[in-house]
Amino acid sequence: MATVAVLSPSTTPPDYFRIVSPTLKVPSEKSTSIPVGLLAAQRDPLLREIETTVVACNISQPSPAPVGKKTKKAVSAPTLPNEPILEVILHDTVIFPEGGGQPTDTGLIKTSDGRIWSVLQAKRHGGHAVHYVKTGSEADVQSALTVFAAGSIVTASLGKEDFDRRYDHMSMHTSQHLLSALLETRLNLPTLSWSLTSFPSPCYVEVPRGMTVEEIVLIQTEANRLVFEGRRVHTEVEELDRDKNGRSVGKALPSDYTGGVNRVVVIDGVDRNPCCGTHLPSIHNLQLFLLPHTDSMSRSNTTSARLYFLSGPRLIDYLSSTHNFLANTSSILSCGAPLVPERVSQVVEERKKADKRVTDLELELAKHISTALISEAAVGSGNDGYIFKKHVHRTDDGGNPLGFLSAISFAFSDQIANTPYLLILTSTPSAQTTTSTTVVMVVGSDDNLVKSTGEALKSQMAVKGGGKGLKWSGKYNGVWKFGNAVDTLLKSIE
Ligand SMILES: [Zn+2]
């Protein structure tokens, strides 16, 4: 488990958090929990550690599965293990509970006995943040209940991984505010919804219509001009007045929120938006990249579109992975990166030609094989009760061995004229394993003979298959060792 290091103080500017009401105060009474909206995570988004007091602690009762439609969550919270979990309410916390489209933080709590406990999720219950603390075992639960007793001093923190996860979420969330504001003010496109997807996928905003490449470039250029200026971000809080409106994305304040605080996130000169998420104090590091197309979404009676975006750590990750894809491909093709598209289309063209040549040659070969069979059939032809019976086996590593057997059977039935016949065609790959597939085909001039031969293959050799009329086909999985058995079977058929 990671240890809590001594961390440098937060660099969030002191005017990031602004109380704009003369009567609102952040509760200082240690036995009460600060409501969501005023948490340290929201007052100071770069703070990684806070010493605080336990307000309440309970053993978690798993909540019954929600009735009705399952809601699709963009980023699923880390799943809770099947073991006792503690629900801990603290006076204050740097661990953000999910909200505003932003997923829960993960984090750590250090107790007075020096133990460090993992916080798997934090959730807002009404107006308060609840930490879901992993205990490990029954014995741990008892000692946890002691060190998490109300009034105990603990330290809540974000470890390196927790902070990296949070920093990515903040980068995408603040970028979404910037993007939605520009779409609305420059193109009159409201944001219908947005999704903070799991790292490293691009996030998206949903707008009422598709966008042209020119529109996307316009918004991206404008966003990056503001990023270059390093516009500052701050939050304003006051008592909640549910009638007040601002630009909100998709949905208004959650109906179960009881914290009593109205919080607005402001990007200087660009946007004011009610939101409870954690936001960076400046957009200076949020170079925005918009994927240069929108995906249209057709629903019952509306058509909207998704615009995907990247910034911060995800943009770096995207650049690294796309660079690696391109570098690997250009190395395989032995050409410089700019030549990759041309070389790939060349390879695809050559492949098409090669495929056609294989098909042509297979047809030609099928005719030759069939001609040889016809001459063989001619030997006994004319004798009373004569049936030409033959097993043809092939070794074939091509992609469509059954197609080739079909080509042989078509060529043969075209040429055979009136001689009664029964052919069993089989094809196996050259190297056989327990997972390799042998294809089997039966063709003949009498449908009853074909049927009974197919049935015998099924019952004697466990070939799976079926057929109709003069053709039966099937396959066998595993190492094919029935060459002689097929010959014996053919001889026995009258
Ligand atoms: Zn937001």
Give residue 319 CA to ligand 1 midpoint distance, Å. 26
Give the relative orientation of helices 340-380 and 312-332 as an angle to the nearest 10 degrees. 50
Q: Does the bond joining 200 to the residue before it have cis omega, within 30 degrees of 0?
A: yes
> Are 130 and 212 within one domain?
no
Give residue 72 CA to ligand 1 midpoint distance, Å. 18
Give residue 273 CA to ligand 1 midpoint distance, Å. 7
Q: How many Å separate Cα 92 from the centre of its chain?
A: 34
Residue 1 pLDDT = 47
> Are 483 and 354 within one domain?
yes
User: Which residue among 112, 129, 161 closes a domain?
Assistant: 161
**Residue 105 pLDDT greater than 90, yes or no:** yes
> Are 135 and 184 within one domain?
no
Give residue 205 CA to ligand 1 midpoint distance, Å. 12
Give residue 99 CA to ligand 1 midpoint distance, Å. 9
Residue 382 pLDDT = 76
The reply to whether 294 falls in a domain is yes
Residue 7 pLDDT = 56
Give residue 8 CA to ligand 1 midpoint distance, Å. 27
Distance CA 108, CA 162 (A): 9
Average pLDDT of the chain is 90
Give residue 87 CA to ligand 1 midpoint distance, Å. 26
Give residue 74 CA to ligand 1 midpoint distance, Å. 14
Band (pLDDT 50/70/90 cuts) for residue 75 is low
Distance CA 4, CA 51 (A): 12
- Higher-confidence residue of 71 and 381: namely 381
**Residue 65 pLDDT greater than 90, yes or no:** no
Task: From residue 446, give the alpha-carbon distance in Å to each of 379, 464, 472, 492, 494.
Answer: 20, 21, 12, 16, 11
Per cent of the chain over pLDDT 70 is: 92
For residue 479, the one-letter residue type is V
The reply to whether 301 falls in a domain is yes
Band (pLDDT 50/70/90 cuts) for residue 142 is confident
The reply to whether 78 falls in a domain is yes
Residue 64 pLDDT = 52
CATH code for the domain in which residue 242 is found? 3.30.980.10
Give residue 277 CA to ligand 1 midpoint distance, Å. 6
> Are 181 and 308 within one domain?
yes
> Are 182 and 230 within one domain?
yes
**Mean pLDDT within 435-459:** 93
> Are 139 and 257 within one domain?
no
| CB-CB contact of 423 with 377 (8 Å) | no
Bridge partner list, 117: 109
> Are 174 and 321 within one domain?
yes
Which residue bears the tokens 């909640």? 240
Give residue 249 CA to ligand 1 midpoint distance, Å. 7
The pLDDT tens digits of the residues spanning 143-198 come to 899 999 999 999 999 999 999 999 999 999 999 999 999 999 999 999 999 999 99
| CB-CB contact of 53 with 91 (8 Å) | yes
Band (pLDDT 50/70/90 cuts) for residue 69 is very low
Distance CA 223, CA 221 (A): 5
**Residue 5 pLDDT greater than 60, yes or no:** no
Residue 257 pLDDT = 79
User: Which residue among 271, 301, 332 closes a domain?
Assistant: 332
**Residue 261 pLDDT greater than 50, yes or no:** yes
Give residue 191 CA to ligand 1 midpoint distance, Å. 11
Q: Which residues contact 2 (CB under 8 A, 6 or more apart)?
A: 108, 116, 159, 160, 161
Give residue 177 CA to ligand 1 midpoint distance, Å. 6
Give residue 271 CA to ligand 1 midpoint distance, Å. 11
Which residue bears the tokens 């009460």? 32
**Mean pLDDT within 376-383:** 83
How many independent structural domains does the chain possess? 3
User: Which residue among 110, 129, 161 closes a domain?
Assistant: 161
The reply to whether 68 falls in a domain is no
Give residue 488 CA to ligand 1 midpoint distance, Å. 76
The reply to whether 193 falls in a domain is yes
Burial class (CB in 10 A: 0-12, 13-18, 19+), 459: exposed
CATH code for the domain in which residue 463 is found? 3.10.310
**Mean pLDDT within 110-138:** 93
Give residue 230 CA to ligand 1 midpoint distance, Å. 19
> Are 380 and 274 within one domain?
no
> Are 402 and 473 within one domain?
yes
Residue 70 pLDDT = 46
Its domain, for residue 55, covers 26-61+73-161
Band (pLDDT 50/70/90 cuts) for residue 8 is low
Give residue 48 CA to ligand 1 midpoint distance, Å. 21
The reply to whether 12 falls in a domain is no
The pLDDT tens digits of the residues spanning 403-418 come to 999 999 999 988 888 8
Give residue 170 CA to ligand 1 midpoint distance, Å. 10
Band (pLDDT 50/70/90 cuts) for residue 250 is very low
> Are 466 and 382 within one domain?
yes
Give residue 131 CA to ligand 1 midpoint distance, Å. 22
Give residue 43 CA to ligand 1 midpoint distance, Å. 15
The pLDDT tens digits of the residues spanning 199-237 come to 999 999 999 999 999 999 999 999 999 999 999 999 999
pTM of the prediction? 0.78
Closest-CA residue to 363 (of 411, 400, 413): 411
Give residue 94 CA to ligand 1 midpoint distance, Å. 18
CATH code for the domain in which residue 91 is found? 2.40.30.130
**Residue 21 pLDDT greater than 80, yes or no:** yes
Task: From residue 45, give the alpha-carbon distance in Å to each of 48, 59, 76, 121, 345.
Answer: 8, 29, 22, 17, 49
The three-state (H, E, C) secondary structure of the chain, written as one string: CCCCCCCCCCCCCCCCEEECCCCCCCCCCCCCCCCCCCCHHHHCCCCCEEEEEEEEEEECCCCCCCCCCCCCCCCCCCCCCCCCEEEEEECCCCCCCCECCECCCCEEEECCCCCEEEEEEEEEECCEEEEEEECCCHHHHHHHHHHCCCCCEEEEECCHHHHHHHHHHHHHHHHHHHHHHHHHHHHCCCCCEEECCCCCCCEEEEECCCCCHHHHHHHHHHHHHHHHHCCEEEEEEEECCCCCCCCCCCCCCCCCCCCCEEEEEEECCCEEEECCCCCCCECCCCCCEEEEEEEEEECCCCEEEEEEEECHHHHHHHHHHHHHHHHHHHHHCCCCHHHHHHHHHHHHHHHHHHHHHHHHHHHHHHHHHHHHHHHHHHHHCCCCCCCEEEEEEEECCCCCHHHHHHHHHHHHHHHCCCCCEEEEEEEECCCCCCCCEEEEEEEECCHHHHHHHHHHHHHHHCCEEEEECCEEEEEEECCCCCHHHHHHHHHHCC
> Are 265 and 328 within one domain?
yes
The reply to whether 311 falls in a domain is yes
Give residue 154 CA to ligand 1 midpoint distance, Å. 30
The reply to whether 132 falls in a domain is yes
Q: Which residues contact 195 (CB under 8 A, 6 or more apart)?
A: 74, 101, 203, 204
Give residue 296 CA to ligand 1 midpoint distance, Å. 23
Give residue 128 CA to ligand 1 midpoint distance, Å. 18
> Are 407 and 437 within one domain?
yes
